[in-house]
Amino acid sequence: MPLDQVDVDQYDVQMTFLEHLEALRWHLIRGIVAIVIGAIFSFVNGKYIFDTILLGSTKSDFWTYRMLCDLSHYLYESDRICIEVMGFKLQALDIQEQFYQHFMIAIIGGLVIAMPYLLFEIYRFIKPALKSSEKKYSFLVIGFASMLFFGGILFGYYILSPISVNFLANYSLSDSIERNFKVSSVINFISLLTLGAGIIFELPIVVYFLSKIGLLTAESMKKYRRIAIVVILVISAVITPPDVMSQIILTFPILILYEIGIIIAKKVYPKVPIEKPQSK
């Protein structure tokens, strides 16, 4: 049979170390180009992203606060848990601060926009090591990974950020202290919560690939579940502000993702039953 009529997936394509580096270099270049394109789009629309999106949770008419107020009217028939005034102002204390923040917004926006393509480039890099049956589900995995990332972004933006911003903005040691915050401080804080949640939500995908190479099994995840819970609590404490409620809110979905990871690991790397010796 001619070679051009044979499915190339039947052959293991052997690549040298330098060829792997060359392939990785082009994957990185294409990924950086995608981030740059997204960053240019974000830079051009920087004012809208800054005012409407990033600073949304600093305004009393934010969607989460309005839903919270509707819940207050439903439960208490009053404005008991409504947030009407944030009680702080933003300041640019350095002359170059707004200019630097414009670039910061562009880079973060470019990374978020390019994430599906970055996941696709990761798939293209590991594709030669996949079996033909595994390649059939590759785009499903990419779609699921993108969904998890953007789901984490939405969770961080609509849940974590408003709760954390409201808690810290209204926390005060004395009424004589005027609450004016630097623009960079608020932007970095909201970006860390939102982007961090998006990355953490990729936990099932990380478990999938670690299970594929045999570094992680469902049994090991069950065995070290208590240690994992402690690690998750520490990660939540680092990402979120010193607010117990925010830490609990972030910890709960991570624990759910951890349990989903156990199911994935069990499917990918099932426990091989030990055959008992047959008696003669």
Q: pLDDT tens digits for 58-80?
A: 888 888 888 888 888 888 877 87
Distances (CA, A) of 140 to 101, 136, 146, 210, 257: 36, 8, 10, 18, 18
Rounded average pLDDT over 200-228: 85
- Res. 45: pLDDT tops 60: yes
Euclidean distance between the first and the last CA atom of the chain, given in angstroms as a whole number: 49
- Res. 9: pLDDT tops 60: no
Output the average pLDDT for the chain: 81
Gap between the Cα atoms of 261 and 139, Å rounded:
19
Kindly tell me the burial class for residue 54, based on how many C-beta atoms sit within 10 Å of its own C-beta (0-12, 13-18, 19 or more). buried
pTM above 0.85, yes or no: no
85-99, 140-154, 209-223 — most confident range:
140-154
- Residue 273: the pLDDT is 43
Residue whose structure tokens are 């204390």 = 93
Q: Which of 268, 255, 153, 280 has its CA nearest to residue 219?
A: 268
Q: Which residue has the higher pLDDT, 45 or 8?
A: 45
Segment (H or E) for 96: none
Gap between the Cα atoms of 32 and 27, Å rounded:
9
- Res. 134: pLDDT tops 80: no
Q: Which of 187, 150, 169, 190 has its CA nearest to residue 46?
A: 187
**Beta partners for residue 182, in sequence order:** 91
Q: Provide the token pair at 169.
A: 């903005």
**Residue 32 confidence class, pLDDT cut points 50, 70, 90:** very high
- Residue 15: the pLDDT is 60
**Residue 10 confidence class, pLDDT cut points 50, 70, 90:** very low
Rounded average pLDDT over 17-36: 85
Rounded average pLDDT over 126-143: 75
Gap between the Cα atoms of 84 and 74, Å rounded:
17
**Residue 224 confidence class, pLDDT cut points 50, 70, 90:** confident
Rounded (10°) CA dihedral 100, 103, 104, 107: -160
CA 236 from chain center: how many Å? Answer: 13
State the number of CA atoms in the 13 A half-sphere of 243 facing the CB: 19
CA 36 from chain center: how many Å? Answer: 20
Q: pLDDT tens digits for 165-210?
A: 888 877 777 778 888 888 888 888 888 889 988 988 988 888 888 8
Q: pLDDT tens digits for 232-242?
A: 888 777 766 66
**Residue type at position 93:** L
